[in-house]
Amino acid sequence: MKAIYCFFLALPLYGISQTFTSMNEAAIGALAPLHLCDSNANIQANITGANVTWDFSQIAGVFGVTKDVQMLDATQDANYVSFAGATKLYDIGSTFQTFFSSTPNGRTSQGFVFNEVSLGAVIASWNVDQENVMTYPFAFGNTVSDVFSGTVTSGATGTVPASGTSYAAVDGSGTLLLPGGNTYSNVLRYHLKDSAVASVFGTNVAFVRDVFEYYDFTVGDLPIFITMSVDVNSALFTNSSTMILSKDQPTSFVGSSELSIPAVTLFPNPVTNHLQLSGVALGDAYRIVTMTGKTLAVGTYQGTIDVTNVNAGVYFIQINGQTVEFIK
């Protein structure tokens, strides 16, 4: 009887370790430096279910580069005015920041901030209808869907109405294999995909985030492995970026040039007469388009681009499959 009693006594502890609750939500101040990995790796999105194995043991990294994943006080952030009611700021590598609040019943997002190559800093504020991203307890097999609305603000778009849908699930439980022969056998995978659409000068712009986070609560309350992609799609431009982060350092490495991170930049911005670009070669073909998609000029890059006769406004340069915004 004593052995049986101990077994059942242990069950609640095991259940907590296998379930997202307000008790194991990361506290403000929690910090985990994760290693930046090859963004072209297979993210294993289709490996779902119970007792599965996600094998990232051979993933390559970017030598010496780490990104901090941390939980911050939302009220102390400069953008807090756009996210009234948020208490926590979940920051992934200073790239994507989610503002949220929580209760014993779940987690609600007031919006997010991220830097987009064409639009600059994007502030998505769900100040009309907030986004439900997790209900507590949230265990393997649980899902939650929601609709949300508010505004999207950037230097290129101004502030425009936006609305979207989201889907979240704990879509897998099992074993995670990371570099260095490290095995984590008590892992839950949280999957969040949300999409918001805003109309900019009559053209729809869609923002799509797709993130997988792997948690082992015997290690800590922050994820030990993350894959996150952010896509921005419109008739004017399409940009996509992916970030993969690992608790354990990869044992093989790629150069930063092999990562799918936008490389084209321009300066000065705002510009008066001549633009210069980095990340391109002489002779690369470019196109300048307006916010409505009208082609304003085409040419090949010869070290500078003369925009002296371009009227004041916001424009895009399309070059090498990338789109970069500039202001005249």
For 270-316, write each residue's pLDDT tens digit. Answer: 888 988 887 777 778 888 888 767 788 888 888 889 999 988 888 88
Q: Domain 265-327, CATH 3.40.47.10 — does that match?
A: no
3-state SS class at 74: helix
Q: How far apart are CA 15 and CA 19, in angstroms?
A: 6
Local confidence band at 8 (pLDDT 50, 70, 90 cut-offs): very low
Q: How far apart are CA 208 and CA 160, in angstroms?
A: 17
> What's 107-165 look like in SS3?
EEEEEEEEEECCCEEEEEEEEEECEEEEECCEECCCEEEEEEEEEEEECCCEEEEEEEE
Domain definitions of the chain by residue range: 11-258, 265-327
Hey, how many other C-beta atoms are within 10 angstroms of the C-beta on 15? Answer: 12
Residues 145-200 have pLDDT tens digits of 999 999 999 877 789 999 999 999 999 999 999 999 999 999 999 999 999 999 87
Q: Which pair of tokens denotes residue 13?
A: 């502890």
CB 188 within 8 A of CB 140: yes
Q: Give the span between the Cα atoms of 297 and 286, in whole angstroms.
A: 8
Mean pLDDT, to the nearest integer, of 210-230?
96
